[in-house]
Chain A
């Protein structure tokens, strides 16, 4: 069965510093990959998605992610974070392509400090 690993449960970073949130998925079959952000007591908002094509995906709020098939990774990056980026970030996968089920990682809490 498909699974998603987010190794870092919490990532503290200073404001304006770069950040990378790591995500690895288990399967080598064709997959769709997503990053969602969740602010306290709110639902999930899509940051970006990889369905096919260019391996570098740009999303909202200045985030981007790179799909690496050989390493089965989909790490999320931002060159300069803001206090308002403090939130929980979930990596998720649908796989194989055509499946309905969105499998989430355990989440990474990004804590941006002034």
Chain B
């Protein structure tokens, strides 16, 4: 089945130690999104890629970066994780922008010690 895969499902890192989360998709969608979801809150969009075009949300901290080396893969890099960055990170894809349904991966739960 076509799907969105996130690895790892659970990630533990230390305060200030860089961490990379991975997302891959077999849907061949043009758009890939990264969301941050803190406990009991709605997902918050960090940024998205439309093909190779990177689009950052205005309130996304500089500590968060992303890479999309090809259509299938997208990475979320957290340069210096703080305790406040502990959250579920969700990757999603859509065929195009402008109202297309977004397909979500299972998420990576990040713990910062």
Contact = CB atoms under 8 A, between A and B. Distances in A.
B81 interface: no
Contacts, number: 54
Nearest to A36: B104
Contacts of B55: 100
A97 B99 contact: yes
Given A41-B109, A43-B107, A100 B97 contact: yes
Contact of B101 (A34, A43, A105, A106): A34
A55 interface: no
A63 to B, nearest CB: 16
Contact of B42 (A94, A101, A107): A107
A89 B53 CA distance: 31
Interface of A: 32, 34, 36, 41-46, 49, 51, 90, 94, 97-102, 104-107
B10 to A, nearest CB: 9
Interface residues of B, number: 25
Interface of B: 4, 6, 31, 40-43, 45, 48, 50, 55, 88, 90, 92, 97-99, 101-107, 109
A101 B45 contact: yes
A99 B41 CA distance: 23
Contacts of A36: 104
B68 to A, nearest CB: 16
A87 to B, nearest CB: 13
Contacts of A94: 98-99
Contact of A42 (B40, B101, B107): B107
Nearest to A49: B101
A90 B106 contact: no
